[in-house]
């Protein structure tokens, strides 16, 4: 190999700039955390982290302006990667905005939280931009290990610790499946680069059934990560037990990044036998929608309900993945962006309303919210209506594009069943709405003022939802342009 | 600037304004603003009546590029009246709520305007997806209207209403998307043109499936038997203004859409399914009337009578001839006026006695003679007495049905007889007999609300020429379209 090509050039780093900023920022925070005294207020570290995320967001267009692969084809900077980097960074920004006040409320104000978020974001960025399986694995692990700790960040909370342990055990199990699949693929094709795998499989020189088995193993690992049925059992417990802003983070950020690699791997490397795995995805998508929606119907805990709803939404995105087309990929991209806004908006509201120790998280606790805090209730309503899929919200166009892609690809039954599912989903979102608007409050105490970070998050997500509900082209045109992969 | 586009946007502007205005003035603001909207809607008449067969006041601009969804609206001789009807009924709904809605007034009046936005949108959109957007938007304000200000079981009723309607419309969305894959556009006139030119054709099975997907959504909304089970709950639990709007305009969303979409897009399937749908319609007519006969609750009684009357409209639509269609559209307007009037009067009764049970009333004619007379006129209109509005609609529908199949008309006519039974019996138990207690007669403000409706009942019963030419011209275009001509008229 030519040594000059082996050493990374400056442009390689530019293509990697967002993750670079996040990593350096994370390490910086680590030092700052050690330098500030134990009993000091650590909120300012949160602001540093916010600044780092904003810096990474500005670095995304820089990376996009230098398209191509870097570090010998390990990472790729394309529009697809930039899109998912932006989505995960947005989720990270929301998480940080909501958690500064949350952590002081829960008396768990330490700097580690912020740097873990940054490291997790760096991992997700690597997932979005990875062009080969080792990077996929690395990104996934960086993102996941930080998330495990975040889930159990409130050490004294039993549920949180249980959530973290469960998340860690099942997550590692899933990663093992993925890694096993990667090793098989390497055995069959001798490559870990996505394009090289594709070429090797297309040339037909390698054992095809082995490759199919490897793809199946990897699909299982990824299905765990996106919480697709029947690999979804961890999600409700984790989202319920984790601190509310972390639940919002987990349900939107790592999930979007996992879908990014799902799409990239299956549409780049394994495209040649798409007809083999399409029926599997079909069943996976339907099962995920059914399990998510039907389980959510019975929940009285809002966090747990949103957890099941996030499973159902993963099902909708899987419908888009099943189409195995550029239109479907664009629809999935749009949906995940819309989902990040609406789901995080809902979790932001819960973060505040749950109160100290997250003791008020049942639907009953939301009774009478509309008269006590009309603005908060209104913003949450926008998020919930969007999750329901009512027109003029981003959620409607998300579903619309997904099912349009499905029908374009002749998946009529899946579309009909999926859309009927979303009518079922209306029921449990309406339960929250009716609690807020149609019941009187149980208590008469004055509501606590909403922290600025949470207010900002909710306003931004509600505004985003309504804007995308009227002008979906703002995001969709971009998604359509970049829904193709380097092959 | 196009008046229809302004008319569509005004309620939305009003909604936003109502949300930010101080609570004390919302009530008066919405009443005034909705009257202004009504005045604007009247400006549409002149131009549309010059060529009622075609679309007038058309606005057609791009909304979303991929896939191409157009902001395409327009009205013809039939939809014009439904747009005006919506604009006419909202101020009345606002007005009758002045005394009954006492808590959270600001939201209530704001929702009325949001509802109006959706209604005018449904009746004027010419792009399938734009139409679908409005169709769903209507659900949200109505859900809150029922759920916040309704009766005891309001949350149950509101949720049932929302989920039922949404489930019904999901298959319609699939059908709309499927049509797009065939025609490459969501634009209704463009699709119809392509169908006429033979560029887009559905196989029999496709057409049937698409027809049923649309039909299901609309049948829930009308409702057509046996999809009516949400209706008695919603009508009985909703506050008077919402019940009034549900019965008067929202049911017309279903029947109008059957006319605009099912009959236009799928003439062959409409023809093939007509006998089955007519059977359901006739069951609805008779069943609704029989259940109304035994209802002890007056709101439910009128709710079930609506199922019966709407059965007539569906019968007319699927007779597939000029009489039937004209009658159906005419009856949509008539039913809105007469049932709307009944709900308003029942609202007045409820306000005075805090009860809806017929048994709690009786002999009201002695202490409140004016009330009794007004109620009698509304009752007779609902029964279909000549010179009052419903007579014209039902007569045309029966004529159309008889032309298609004499038995259809024979069975449907049972409904007319039964309606006389339940309505007159209801009237007798409420107003006649010995007076039980003191009862306030109509107040000036109540006169003001009900008079426009009384005038319209007579006007629509006597001077049919004000309305029918536009409606006929619009229906004629449908019936004479080459595709429908073969399919629909072969039935004769």
Q: pTM for the full model?
A: 0.90
**B42 inside 8 A of chain A by CB:** no
Q: Which stretch of DSSP H or E encloses residue B279? A: helix B267-293
**CA closest to B153 among chain A residues:** A438
Give per-residue pLDDT as tens, A405-445: 998 888 888 888 888 888 888 889 988 988 888 888 777 77
**CA closest to B65 among chain A residues:** A473
Give per-residue pLDDT as tens, B239-275: 888 888 888 888 899 999 998 888 888 888 888 888 8
What letter would DSSP give residue B31?
H
Helices (H), A324-411: 326-353, 369-372, 374-388, 394-408
Q: Find, among A373, A486, A364, the residue nearest to A432 by Cα.
A: A364
Cβ neighbours, 10 Å, residue A440: 7
Confidence of residue A3 (pLDDT cuts 50, 70, 90): low
From chain A, pick out residues whose CB is under 8 angstroms from the CB of B134: 391
Share of chain A residues as helix, strand and coil, in percent rounded to the nearest 5:
80, 0, 20
Q: What's residue A285's pLDDT?
A: 92
Look at residue A487 and tell me whether its pLDDT is greater than 70. no
Half-sphere exposure of B466 (CA within 13 A, CB side): 13
Give per-residue pLDDT as tens, B140-193: 999 988 888 887 888 888 888 888 888 888 889 989 999 998 888 898 888 888
Kindly give the pairing relationship between strand A75-77 and strand B56-64: unpaired
Give per-residue pLDDT as tens, B204-229: 888 899 999 999 999 988 888 888 88
Q: Across residues A125-141, what is the average pLDDT?
A: 91
**B70 inside 8 A of chain A by CB:** no
Interface of A with B in 71-130 (CB under 8 A): none
CB within 8 A of B433, min separation 6: which ones? B362, B363
Q: Is the four-CA dihedral B110, B113, B119, B121 of positive or negative sign?
A: negative
Which of A122-131, B401-410, B426-435 is most confident?
Answer: A122-131
Per-residue tokens: B286 = 């008779």
From chain B, pick out residues whose CB is under 8 angstroms from the CB of A472: 64
Say yes or no for a CB contact (<8 Å) between A404 and B180: yes
**Spatial separation of the C-alpha atoms in residues B173 and A326, rounded to whole Å:** 22
From chain A, pick out residues whose CB is under 8 angstroms from the CB of B162: 426, 430
**CA closest to A409 among chain B residues:** B181
Q: Find, among B273, B482, B446, B315, the residue nearest to B374 by Cα.
A: B446
Q: What's residue B1's pLDDT?
A: 66
Say yes or no for a CB contact (<8 Å) between B180 and A391: no
**B64 inside 8 A of chain A by CB:** yes
Say yes or no for a CB contact (<8 Å) between B163 and A430: yes
From A391, A422, A480, residue closest to B137, measured CB to CB:
A391
Say yes or no for a CB contact (<8 Å) between A419 and B133: no
**Residues pairing with B357 in the sheet:** B297
**Spatial separation of the C-alpha atoms in residues A99 and A46, rounded to whole Å:** 8
Segments forming the whole domain that contains residue B93: 3-489
Which residue is associated with the tokens 């039935």?
A: B491
Mean pLDDT score of chain B, rounded to an integer?
86
Q: Across residues B358-372, what is the average pLDDT?
A: 84
**CA closest to A385 among chain B residues:** B140
Identify whether the C-beta of residue B435 lies closer than 8 Å to the C-beta of residue B364. Answer: yes
Q: Find, among B194, B174, B316, B180, the residue nearest to B259 by Cα.
A: B316
**A407 inside 8 A of chain B by CB:** yes
Q: What's residue B91's pLDDT?
A: 87
Q: Which stretch of DSSP H or E encloses residue B57? A: strand B56-64
Higher pLDDT, B361 or A181: A181
Per-residue tokens: A457 = 């998050």
**A479 inside 8 A of chain B by CB:** no
Q: Find, among B173, B142, B172, the residue nearest to B159 by Cα.
A: B142
| DSSP code string of A414-437 | HHHHHHHHHHHHHHHHHHHHHHHH
Look at residue B491 and tell me whether its pLDDT is greater than 50. no
Angle of helix A394-408 versus helix A302-323 axis, rounded to 10: 30
Provide the domain count of chain B: 1
Quote the ipTM score: 0.88
**CA closest to A401 among chain B residues:** B67
Say yes or no for a CB contact (<8 Å) between A438 and B154: yes
**Spatial separation of the C-alpha atoms in residues B74 and B47, rounded to whole Å:** 12
Q: Is the peptide bond before A229 cis (omega within 30 degrees of 0)?
A: no
Say yes or no for a CB contact (<8 Å) between B174 and A403: yes
Q: Give the CA distances from residue A407 to residues A88, A418, B141, B174, in Å, rounded to whole numbers and listed in that order.
A: 29, 12, 31, 8
What's the CA angle centered on A425, arms A419 and A428, to 5 degrees?
170
Q: Across residues A370-398, what is the average pLDDT?
A: 90
**Chosen from B26, B173, B216 to mutate, greatest number of chain A CBs within 10 A:** B173
Q: What's residue B492's pLDDT?
A: 44
Give per-residue pLDDT as tens, A294-352: 999 888 899 999 999 999 999 999 999 998 888 889 999 999 999 999 999 999 999 98
Give per-residue pLDDT as tens, A201-251: 877 755 578 888 888 999 999 999 898 888 888 888 899 888 889 999 998
Mean pLDDT score of chain A, rounded to an integer?
87
Q: What's residue A459's pLDDT?
A: 94
Q: Is the four-CA dihedral B55, B61, B64, B67 of positive or negative sign?
A: positive
| Phi, psi (degrees; rounded to nearest 5) at B490 | -60, -25
The number of C-beta contacts closer than 8 angstroms across A and B is: 86
CB within 8 A of B51, min separation 6: which ones? none
């Amino acid at each position: 190999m030519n040594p000059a090509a082996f050493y990374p050039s400056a442009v390689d780093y530019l293509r990697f700039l967002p993750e670079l900023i996040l990593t350096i920022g994370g390490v910086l925070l680590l030092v700052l955390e050690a330098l500030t005294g134990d009993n000091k207020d650590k909120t300012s570290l949160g602001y540093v982290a916010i600044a780092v995320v904003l810096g990474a967001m500005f670095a995304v267009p820089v990376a996009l302006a230098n398209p191509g692969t870097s570090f010998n084809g390990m990472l790729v900077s394309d529009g697809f990667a930039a899109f998912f980097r932006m989505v995960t960074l947005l989720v990270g920004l929301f998480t940080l905005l909501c958690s500064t006040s949350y952590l002081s409320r829960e008396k768990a104000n330490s700097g580690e939280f912020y740097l873990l978020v940054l490291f997790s974001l760096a991992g997700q960025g690597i997932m979005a931009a990875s062009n080969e399986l080792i990077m996929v694995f690395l990104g996934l692990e960086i993102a996941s290990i930080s998330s495990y700790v975040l889930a159990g960040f409130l050490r004294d909370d039993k549920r949180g610790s249980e959530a973290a342990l469960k998340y860690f055990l099942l997550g590692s199990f899933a990663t093992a499946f993925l890694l096993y699949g990667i090793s098989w693929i390497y055995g069959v094709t001798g490559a870990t680069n996505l394009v090289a795998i594709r070429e090797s499989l297309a040339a037909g020189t390698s054992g095809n059934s082995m490759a199919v088995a490897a793809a199946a193993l990897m699909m299982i690992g990824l299905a765990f990560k996106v919480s697709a049925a029947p690999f979804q059992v961890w999600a409700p417990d984790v989202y319920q037990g984790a601190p509310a802003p972390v639940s919002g983070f987990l349900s939107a950020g790592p999930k979007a990044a996992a879908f990014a690699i799902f799409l990239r791997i299956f549409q780049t490397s394994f495209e040649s036998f798409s007809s083999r795995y399409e029926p599997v995805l079909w069943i996976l998508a339907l099962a995920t929608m059914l399990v998510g929606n039907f389980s959510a119907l019975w929940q009285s805990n809002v966090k747990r309900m949103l957890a099941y709803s996030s499973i159902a939404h993963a099902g909708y995105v899987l419908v888009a993945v099943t189409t195995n087309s550029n239109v479907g990929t664009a629809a999935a991209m749009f949906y995940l962006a819309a989902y990040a806004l609406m789901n995080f908006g809902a979790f932001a509201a819960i973060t505040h309303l749950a109160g100290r120790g997250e003791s008020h998280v049942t639907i009953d606790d939301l009774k009478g919210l509309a008269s006590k805090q009309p603005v908060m209730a209104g913003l949450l309503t926008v998020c919930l209506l969007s999750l329901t899929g009512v027109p003029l919200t981003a959620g409607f166009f998300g579903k619309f594009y997904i099912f349009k892609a499905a029908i374009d690809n002749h998946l009529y039954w899946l579309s009909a069943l999926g859309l009927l599912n979303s009518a079922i989903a209306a029921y449990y979102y309406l339960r929250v709405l009716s609690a807020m608007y149609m019941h009187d409050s149980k208590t008469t105490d004055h509501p606590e003022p909403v922290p600025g970070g949470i207010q900002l998050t909710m306003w931004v997500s509600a505004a985003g939802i309504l804007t995308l509900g009227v002008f979906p082209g703002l995001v969709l045109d971009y998604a359509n342009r970049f829904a193709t992969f380097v092959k | 600037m196009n008046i229809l586009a302004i008319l569509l946007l005004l309620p939305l502007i009003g909604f936003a304004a109502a949300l930010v205005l101080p609570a004390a003035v919302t009530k008066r603001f919405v009443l005034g603003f909705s009257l202004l909207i009504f005045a604007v809607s009247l400006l549409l008449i002149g131009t549309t009546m010059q060529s009622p067969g075609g679309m007038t006041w058309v606005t057609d601009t791009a909304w979303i590029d991929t896939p191409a969804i157009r902001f395409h609206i327009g009205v013809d001789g039939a939809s014009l009246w439904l747009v005006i009807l919506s604009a006419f009924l909202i101020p009345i709904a606002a007005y009758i709520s002045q005394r009954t809605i006492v808590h959270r007034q600001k939201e209530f009046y704001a929702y009325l305007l949001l509802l109006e936005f959706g209604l005018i949108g449904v009746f004027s959109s010419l792009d399938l997806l734009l139409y679908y957007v409005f169709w769903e938007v209507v659900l949200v304000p109505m859900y809150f209207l029922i759920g916040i200000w309704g009766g005891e079981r309001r949350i149950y009723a509101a949720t049932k209403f929302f989920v039922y309607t949404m489930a019904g419309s999901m298959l319609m969305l699939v059908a709309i998307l499927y049509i797009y894959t065939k025609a490459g556009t969501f634009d209704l006139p463009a699709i119809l043109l392509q169908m006429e030119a033979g560029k887009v054709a559905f196989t029999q099975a496709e057409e049937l499936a698409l027809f049923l997907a649309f039909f299901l959504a609309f049948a829930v909304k009308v409702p057509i038997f046996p999809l009516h089970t949400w209706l008695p709950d919603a009508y009985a639990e909703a506050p008077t203004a919402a019940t009034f709007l549900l019965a008067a305009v929202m049911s017309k969303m279903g029947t109008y859409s059957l006319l605009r979409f099912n009959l236009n897009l799928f003439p062959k399937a409409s023809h093939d399914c007509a006998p089955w749908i007519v059977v359901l319609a006739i069951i609805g007519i008779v069943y609704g009337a029989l259940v109304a006969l035994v209802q002890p609750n007056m709101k439910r009684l009128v709710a079930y009578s609506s199922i019966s009357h709407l059965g007539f409209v569906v019968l007319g639509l699927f007779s597939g001839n000029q009489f039937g269609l004209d009658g159906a559209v005419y009856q949509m307007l008539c039913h809105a006026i007469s049932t709307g009037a009944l709900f308003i009067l029942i609202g007045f009764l409820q306000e005075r006695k805090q009860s809806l049970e017929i048994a709690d009333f009786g002999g009201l004619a002695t202490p409140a003679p004016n009330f009794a007379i007004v109620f009698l006129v509304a009752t007779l209109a609902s029964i279909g007495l000549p010179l009052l509005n419903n007579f014209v609609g039902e007569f045309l529908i029966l004529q159309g049905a008889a032309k298609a199949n004499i038995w259809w008309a024979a069975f449907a006519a049972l409904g007319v007889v039964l309606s006389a039974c339940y309505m007159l019996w209801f009237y007798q138990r409420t107003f006649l007999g010995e007076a039980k207690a003191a009862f306030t007669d109509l107040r000036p403000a109540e006169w003001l609300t009900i008079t426009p409706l009384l005038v319209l009942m007579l006007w629509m019963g006597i001077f049919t020429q004000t309305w029918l030419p536009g409606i006929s011209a619009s229906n004629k275009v449908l019936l004479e379209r080459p595709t429908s001509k073969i399919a629909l008229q072969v039935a004769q």
